[in-house]
Chain A
Amino acid sequence: MNYLNTSISLLFDPLSLFFLFVILLVSVPSAIYSIGYLKGQYSSGKIMLGWLLFTAFVLSMALVVTAGNALMFLIAWEIMSMVSYFLVIFDHTHEKSVKAGIIYIVMTHIGTTFIIASFLILFKYAGSFDFAAFKSASRTIPPNLKHIIFLLLLVGFGTKAGIVPLHIWLPYAHPQAPSHISSIMSGVMIKTAIYGMLRFIVFILGIEGIWWGNLILILALLSCLVGVIYALMEHDLKRLLAYHSVENIGIILLGIGASMVFFKMNLPVLAVLSLCAGLYHLINHAIFKGLLFLCAGAVYKATGTRNIEKLGGLIKMMPWTAAAFLVGSLAISAIPPLNGFVSEWLTLQAFFLGAISSPGGYKVFFSICASLLALTGGLAAACFVKAFGITFLALPRSKGVTEAKEATLSMKFAFVFMMLLTVLFGLAAASIIKLLVKVSGFIFSLNTGGMNFSVNNFSLAIPQSEVYLSTPLIAIVFAAIAGICFLCVHLFAGRSKITSYNTWDCGYYNLDARTEYTATAFSKPFRIAFNFFLLPYRCSQA
């Protein structure tokens, strides 16, 4: 042991604390949710085992982000993978779970191999596994070797993060785990890979070439588009959410990649801004994706299916779940004043300002990035119209749905908690960004004293430009419009002229669930629009 020059050491710098906060933010409501979720689905022994694994999982993630040397990091990282593998195959009698588990653990391990290789190169120069030694040794590493280390780390962490084309395991593994675990896996676990990238690539290695940022931006764009397009085609509720994780990791990486480019272009304010945007989206995604997976779990538990073509009309049976899913959908679709909007707005602003202040080709590149991000946002909104509409509105499409029961108290508590968080992180953007600026400044080792991204406690403002955003104001306006509409309806129409009629009847009579709009039909335009990529084919069945 002594020859490896390591001892047990923990690290609590701003970067670690930020991720630790995100982990706990999602894990605590998921734990509460699981009280109700596990009951009745599994035997009591299995529930105990579930709790054991859950605790080990959260602890290992916490250890990943607080480990003070690379050996501890690796150990925690592998324990995290192993425990999550056990959670993926929690329903081990399903052939599908075992398959998903194997794909997951093998791909993750391949990623880890790349990480180990990069650590060993760093060790050769540092003579120790300590992060501090790594950081001071990184000055002596020749640039070419740094490029190799960067690529190794990118592949290694990219596999865990699920960036395209290393995302293959993600849509298998995330849906197979019990839902409270899916919510942690999607919400937090893949973020530990982002932590790894920030810690090792940006913080320890230092950015050596501007192409690092460009490469990350291109991969991020690819992840955004591929993720959202596949999500649009998906009819398994949890797989759909898993594909959205690929998309959102892309959005987070857009912020991080852009910040790396800006940092090399010597634009510190923009670098900090876009890194803040990335980190902000990281928290936001953790919150709303966690919420959405919890809702999907409640739906699955109530109906026994995850196929949205068989669902429908759940809003009447499960109003709490429906409300929670709606809020989550609005947040992930970047609708103001909820949290998703703020971070995507920040990312877009970073691209716009980058296009203005950078030379030549980068103007075009950043504009393309911004426009593709906007496209992603639009497609994501469409996808969630489908997911919410088909699942919760209309008439029930199968028998199981009509017997669905509302979620239990502990599950509702988790919903409400997460809903409040989505609202809070939308409205309190100005205060949150102050903290994020500090974290970003720490990561880049920049002094952020002069950088101010908020004018008061209610509005975001970007220095050197005339851009402002006040989410509380938007919320007030929205509330006012809604209030006025409500008043108008009641004043002019009155109670007498509102009649309730069969759901989605459209004036016909005797329509039943079989004639309703389906998810397949809803996504058809997108299937046609992207047929160059999706390559759909027809086959007839006798």
Chain B
Amino acid sequence: MELVFILGIPLCLAIASLFVRRSSLFGIFNAFGYLAVLCVSLRLSFEITKGVTPFIPSTFFHIDALSAYFIFLIALINFISSLYSIGYLASDVKEGAITERKASGYWTLYNLFAFTMFFVTVVNNLGIMWVSIEMTTLISAFLVGFYNTKKSIEAAWKYIIICSAGIVLAFLGTILLYYTVSRHGGINSLNWTDIVSVARNLDPRVTKIAFLFILVGYGTKAGLAPMHTWLPDAHSQALSPVSALLSGVLLKTAFYAIIRFMIIVNKCVPSHYTQNLFIFFGIVSLGVAAGFMLVQKDIKRLLAYSSVEHIGIISIGLGFGGILGIYGALFHAFNHAVTKALMFLGAGSVVRKYKTSNMHLIKGVINVMPWTGVILILGAFALAGSPPFSIFLSEIMILTAGFQQGFYTGAILFLLFVGIIFAAIIYHFSRVIFGNKPQTITVTHGQITAKLSLILLLILILVFGISIPVFFDKFIVMAVEIIKG
């Protein structure tokens, strides 16, 4: 039953938004809709941790702890982001940046985007999964190019071209996998559940090549370096609540697809094959992000590169493997989603206030907008991996896994790059948040919805940084068991 609500609510909201006159009122309605989705996804997770198999209408869908985990992530960030969007859009309309009509168009796109992301996580058929990932690209491209400026259209174009090119490779990978499934597995099905059951019989060589295609293809969408080049443009040009969604959960849905394939591949190829690939791409992502973050001028691009870093960390976590590594990777997916959403939303308010995203021109945020300033500097520490915030815990887990499994070089490079990135983040954010404010900026009170969403996120980061709730812990462990197979 939960499935119907999770897919149905965004779809209904998307249709309803077509008939909307007052977009701000609809925004509140929309936020309540996502609150409902969040509650449903929580209920789903509760049931799964209790061992109840959720009701699923047909084998077309498949929900287990792993997909429920990602559903929860998407629902959470969507709720926060829709909450934040209310005030954001209202002031856009007020300032005349967009028309009322266009604002309701935003809600249509927003809901469709959420729908496609949910769809990726619940669908069983790997071919349909491919289609729905492409759908997320197409719909979110409109949100990237939402303002119709030269830069944003360029970013949207780049986004579509690079991600579509990448996803063609993933298509090849899927076809190759289907080839060996039908040839050696003896079934003609692309359903993940069916393939997993025959995974042992697959041809290792073909599977290896298929996985490489999948990793590069979906890895493009996930933002792994060196295929990440679309990411900084798209994330910096999108509306801030959309940036939060792109960074926080869209990247992870692509990663979710990679994990699904990895489970299959690990059953017929020794797992160090996928592990080494994950570590390699992860370390490259960390290195690239570290370099670019040091010299970054644009606050949203800085955060976008930080997403490349964190996707790299998740990848390394899976690469180090072991229960601890995979646990850390999944937990990191949550932590990054929450923290990055916080940072993008906070940065969004700052950019809106200062009318620029150039960090050399933004100074003294803490004087101009005290709430946002305080939350942003705490968020910067969280993002950089300081305790008592949650990213610290997942990073320590992944590092410990690295040392335990004997990946010393990987773990030491990890430490090195994360150290550099810490310096970069704190350097940039210290200079933005402290200092004297420019004369022209006046102190105003921020929007209540923006503050509320930021505070909610900060509380989550803090709570999970101090200890992981028992229910959540069990939930991740179940997901880890699925990945370990």
Contact = CB atoms under 8 A, between A and B. Distances in A.
Interface hub of B402, B434, B435, B436 (most chain A Cβ within 10 A): B434
Interface stretch (A108-116, A198-206, A412-420, A525-533): A108-116
Nearest to B465: A75
A124 B419 contact: no
Interface string A494-510: 00000000000000000
Interface in B359-418: 364, 366-367, 381, 386-388, 392-393, 396-397, 399-400, 402-404, 411-412, 415-416, 418
A79 B388 contact: yes
Interface size of B as a range = 35 or more
B399 A116 contact: yes
A116 B415 CA distance: 9
A466 interface: no
B47 interface: no
Nearest to B395: A116
Interface in B449-485: 467-468, 473
Given A92-B435, A98-B435, A109-B419, A123 B388 contact: no
A535 interface: no
Interface stretch (A1-9, A317-325, A392-400, A446-454): A1-9
A2 B324 CA distance: 10
Contact of B324 (A3, A79, A98, A117): A3
4 closest residue pairs by CB, A with B:
A92-B434, A75-B387, A120-B403, A106-B423
Given A4-B396, A124-B404, A105 B415 contact: no
B337 to A, nearest CB: 19
Contact of A82 (B386, B415, B416): B386
A247 B396 CA distance: 35
Contacts of A74: 387, 396
A123 B403 contact: yes
Contact of B434 (A98, A113, A124): A98
Given A3-B324, A4-B397, A92-B366, 11 more contacts: A3-B327, A4-B396, A4-B400, A71-B396, A78-B386, A79-B386, A93-B435, A98-B431, A106-B426, A113-B415, A116-B399
Contacts of A3: 323-324, 327, 397
Nearest to B364: A93
A421 interface: no
11 contacts: A4-B324, A4-B396, A4-B400, A71-B396, A75-B392, A82-B386, A106-B422, A109-B423, A116-B415, A120-B399, A123-B400
A78 B324 contact: no
Nearest to A121: B403
Contacts of A106: 422-423, 426-427
A101 B381 CA distance: 13
Contacts of B402: 120
A97 B433 CA distance: 13
Contacts of B393: 1
B430 A101 contact: yes
Interface string A75-91: 10011011000000100
A141 interface: no
B17 to A, nearest CB: 42
Given A98-B434, A123-B400, A82 B381 contact: yes
A71 B427 CA distance: 26
Nearest to B415: A113
A74 B397 CA distance: 13
Contacts of B412: 117
A97 B411 CA distance: 34
B386 A1 contact: no
Nearest to A49: B374
A253 to B, nearest CB: 25
Interface string B122-138: 00000000000000000
Interface string A217-237: 000000000000000000000
B387 A78 contact: yes
A176 to B, nearest CB: 12
A162 to B, nearest CB: 19
Given A4-B324, A79-B387, A123-B400, A89 B430 contact: yes
Interface in A113-132: 113, 116-117, 120-121, 123-124
Contacts of B426: 102, 105-106, 109
Contacts of B467: 1
B394 to A, nearest CB: 11
Interface string B151-195: 000000000000000000000000000000000000000000000
Contacts of A123: 400, 403-404
B302 to A, nearest CB: 15
A95 B468 CA distance: 39
B387 A89 contact: no
B411 to A, nearest CB: 7
Nearest to A3: B324
A75 B467 CA distance: 12
Nearest to B323: A3
Contacts of A95: 435
Nearest to A120: B403
B373 to A, nearest CB: 10
Interface in A428-451: none
Contact of B430 (A93, A98, A116): A98
B396 A1 contact: no
A113 B412 CA distance: 10
Contacts of A120: 399-400, 402-403, 411
A124 B323 CA distance: 15
A2 B473 contact: yes
Contacts of B468: 1
Contacts of B435: 92-93, 95, 98
Nearest to A98: B434
A400 to B, nearest CB: 23
Contacts of B323: 3
A102 B430 contact: yes
Contact of A93 (B387, B404, B436): B436
B471 to A, nearest CB: 13
A109 B415 CA distance: 11
Contacts of B399: 116, 120
Nearest to A86: B377
A81 B385 CA distance: 13
A106 B420 CA distance: 9
Contacts of A2: 473
A113 B419 contact: yes
Nearest to A117: B415
A102 B426 CA distance: 7
Given A75-B388, A89-B430, A110 B403 contact: no
Nearest to A122: B403
Contacts of A82: 381, 386
A105 B387 CA distance: 14
Contacts of B416: 113
Contacts of B364: 93
Nearest to B470: A1
A483 to B, nearest CB: 56
A101 to B, nearest CB: 6
A493 B296 CA distance: 76
Nearest to B466: A75
A102 B397 CA distance: 27
Contacts of A75: 387-388, 392
Interface hub of B367, B387, B397 (most chain A Cβ within 10 A): B387
Contacts of B388: 75, 79
B305 to A, nearest CB: 18
A123 B396 CA distance: 11
Contact of B392 (A1, A78, A93, A113): A78
Contacts of B427: 102, 106
A61 to B, nearest CB: 15
Interface string A25-64: 0000000000000000000000000000000000000000
Interface in B77-115: none
Given A74-B387, A75-B387, A116-B399, A110 B324 contact: no
Nearest to B469: A1
